[in-house]
Amino acid sequence: MLDIKEKKGISLIFVILIISVILNIAFGISGILITQIKVLRDVGHSVISFYAADSGIENVLLVVPPVGTTTDLGNGVTFKVEVTSGGEGDCPFLSNYCIKSIGKYRETKRAIEIIY
């Protein structure tokens, strides 16, 4: 039979193992949550960037003939519009113009391209 003096440290080892498993689970879950929070924040930035690109398209369609421009909307949102005539570059030959607008908010960019 084993003596009690030989069994003293076994409960301490079990407690340390259980605590380390719980900490690993907690750190894993917190890492996933932090990543998801960043993704959700960037979705909002994406919507703002998309609407900035849409504003760029609308802005250029008011000018005849359309002209490329870069505009700062004053709240950290910008759009850059590129206009290509029909038959130039990737713009189809039978179209009048190809207009590409890139909206940017913080580090997020979204683009809209129209051909008419």
Tens digit of each residue's pLDDT (9 = 90 or more) over 27-86: 999 999 999 998 888 888 999 999 999 999 999 988 878 888 899 988 999 999 999 998
Q: Peptide bond preceding 66: is omega within 30 degrees of 0, i.e. cis? A: no
Flag whether pLDDT at 2 surpasses 70.
no
pLDDT at 40: 86
Flag whether pLDDT at 4 surpasses 70.
no
Give which of 59, 52, 44 is closest to 76, Cα–Cα: 52
Helical (H) or strand (E) element with 101: strand 97-105
What is the domain extent for residue 78?
4-115
- The total of structural domains in the chain comes to 1
